Structure 1
Amino acid sequence: MAQQRLGQIQWGALTFGPGTPYTVTGLEGLDDLPEIRAQDVERPGQHGDYTGPDYTGPRVVQLKLGLRGESPDDLRALSIALRNATQPQDEPQQLAFLEQGVMVLGKVRRRSIPYDAEYLWRIGDAALEFYCADPYVYGLTERQASTTAYSPAAGRTYPLVYSSGGRTYGSAGTSGRITAVNDGASPAYPVLRLDGPVATPAVEHVTSGSLLTLDATLQVGEYVLIDTRTRAVLFMGSAPRRSWVRAGSTWPVLLPGSNEIAYRGAALSGAPGQTSLLTVTWRDTSL
């Protein structure tokens, strides 16, 4: 049986794999399940455990490379370029598997570029280890879908026309509803952008029944960003407004498959129809 082609791997400005001087000779940890943090407790006086939900620890990806230079000086240049691209980091960055269309977010935690005098004329080896505090494997394509709000007082309006800009867009919403498809195997945490004018905007994940409501009013030109993973609510993209979230709200996540999302809000007095826009952005997500 033929094996799946790994293809090229992108890390910052460096590309590894076919067509590059960095041959990929080994890869571990991308398709492996990270270590499980089990929430099990013993059954007192009985056999077995009470089992709880399983959570994963961080993902560790190990990459082995073969360096192929044209001369000793070229090999040295390849080693220096690899060393410079794998310095300690403050924040994770994308390790992208281009042909497979997926990525992880990682930091370089180990690097080995050994000296081997027997082969040092033009070939060498290297090993890299990437620590991914976020264990999810994400699709490279950022998906996006938008709809205007449905307000009984304002009637029904339809989404603005938008064009692609390096993203894949979902189907246009009608009457304040869109369908967001997560082609991964794990729940995806979307980023929500709500543009005014609107009062008391509410985002409902119809598929699960979760409802997130903001006790806020957004004027024309104002917006709020909601990160459902970190639960940050940022007015105009920077000012924290977590207090706007109504008590009892639940944070929507995109389950594997199709997810129906409804957007509702009250029209502002004097506003010409309900033109508030909800934009949902996500990536396919798996463990």
Structure 2
Amino acid sequence: MYVPGTGLDGLRADLGPIPLGGVDELGVAWVLQTLDGWDSPEIRAQVQQREGDHGAWSGARYLGERPITLAGTVVAPDPAALDDARERLLSAASLSDTTVVVYEQTPKQALAHRSAKPLWKYETDVAATYSVMMTADDPRRYATVAQSGTTMLPITTGGMTYPRTYPLAFNAVTVSGQVDCANLGSFETRPVLVIDGPVSQPAVLAQMPDGSVRPMTYSQDLSLGDQLVIDVDAKSVMLNGNVSRRRFLAVPLGWPVIPPEALVSFRFVAATYTATAALTVRWRSAWI
């Protein structure tokens, strides 16, 4: 019999609450034999052949979605436990987003949903094989640990200078009016910025690794208790969780992302100083 909570040799991944490559709390062993799609998603590009010449013209190139196939064998202590394991697997392979964690040297995760019929075949009354296909709409593989930093408005504005080169060892170093965000991965990542009022016409200035600055300026005021959430990936601006305020945010130089193996400093400013106004930046390192 298998010991609950122990790991098995070979591949290890979590499909929601199910420990593939381990033994769950009910004594069911989930052997993971196949993990496809964790290497790289497909490339999405348009190519036009050159007329009367060698080669082709390539358009913009993007990464597609990430299909992930998880397959293996389930061994249960009794037939009832095997039937229960099947139901739990079908529930974990949800139509809504489920966290898939793969335990590499640096564990990484993706949000994925069911994209094909799960396969389940009984081999004996206590053993079966399984295969589920999940698709991550976002092709990035993210760090399992989210990072965040919070700052208030700077007490003194103007005449402040910041270094343009930072050590990557920093996680989330916060100084007055500034949050430094390091991406330790191999692909750009997109932060979520949360501004808590009261604050008048807040702005966030993103200082990029090359020293350039990308401003995000909100033209309205936030009252006490208001919260503005700026999602750089979704390119959305939501007030208090349910009202779009995208039209009031100016991003004249483009949405700021955190490049791979680099650090971006987000500086919080406003039309007037308010002691309780706050900026929180949340992000995860990303790999492709």
Aligned pairs for 1:80-159 within 5 A: 80-87=87-94, 89=95, 91-97=96-102, 100-108=106-114, 109-116=116-123, 120-150=124-154
1:106-164 deviations in whole A, cap 9, x for unaligned?
A: 11223111234xxx1432211111112221111111110122223756999xxxxxxxx
Offset, 1:83: 3.1
Partner Cα separation in structure 2 for residue 147 and residue 5 of structure 1: 43
- Structure 1 counterpart SS, 2:118: strand
**Aligned position for 1:57:** 64
**2:38 corresponds to 1:30:** yes
Offset, 1:225: 0.7
Offset, 1:253: 1.1
For structure 2, list consecutive stretches of 5 or more residues without a partner in the other structure.
Answer: 1-8, 161-169
Aligned pairs for 1:145-224 within 5 A: 145-150=149-154, 170-174=172-176, 176-207=177-208, 208-224=212-228
**Aligned position for 1:17:** 21
**2:282 corresponds to 1:276:** no
Say if 1:151 and 1:264, in contact at 8 Å, map to a contact too. Answer: no
Tell me the TM-score normalised to structure 2 length: 0.81
**2:250 corresponds to 1:246:** yes
Partner Cα separation in structure 2 for residue 47 and residue 195 of structure 1: 57
Match of 2:237, as an amino acid?
Answer: V
Match of 1:266, as an amino acid?
Answer: A
Say if 1:204 and 1:212, in contact at 8 Å, map to a contact too. Answer: yes
Partner Cα separation in structure 1 for residue 199 and residue 48 of structure 2: 48
**Aligned position for 2:167:** none
1:77-128 deviations in whole A, cap 9, x for unaligned?
A: 32333234335x1x32211235642111111223111234xxx143221111
**Aligned position for 1:45:** 52
Offset, 1:169: 6.3
- CA 247–104 in structure 1, closer or farther in 2 if over 3 Å, else same: closer
Say if 1:110 and 1:130, in contact at 8 Å, map to a contact too. Answer: no
Offset, 1:247: 6.5
Moved more, 93-102 or 212-221: 93-102
- CA 85–5 in structure 1, closer or farther in 2 if over 3 Å, else same: closer
Partner Cα separation in structure 2 for residue 262 and residue 154 of structure 1: 12
Partner Cα separation in structure 2 for residue 19 and residue 170 of structure 1: 35
Partner Cα separation in structure 2 for residue 259 and residue 154 of structure 1: 20
1:48-99 deviations in whole A, cap 9, x for unaligned?
A: 1223332111111111121112234433332333234335x1x322112356
- Structure 1 counterpart SS, 2:100: strand
- CA 283–5 in structure 1, closer or farther in 2 if over 3 Å, else same: farther
Tell me the TM-score normalised to structure 1 length: 0.81
Partner Cα separation in structure 2 for residue 204 and residue 101 of structure 1: 32
Match of 1:138, as an amino acid?
Answer: Y
**Aligned position for 1:160:** none
Report how many aligned residue pairs link the two structures: 261
Offset, 1:216: 1.3
1:183-234 deviations in whole A, cap 9, x for unaligned?
A: 1111111110112232222212211422111111123332211111111111
State the Cα RMSD in Å: 2.6
Partner Cα separation in structure 1 for residue 57 and residue 155 of structure 2: 47
For structure 1, list consecutive stretches of 5 or more residues without a partner in the other structure.
Answer: 157-167
- Structure 2 counterpart SS, 1:172: strand
- Structure 2 counterpart SS, 1:76: helix
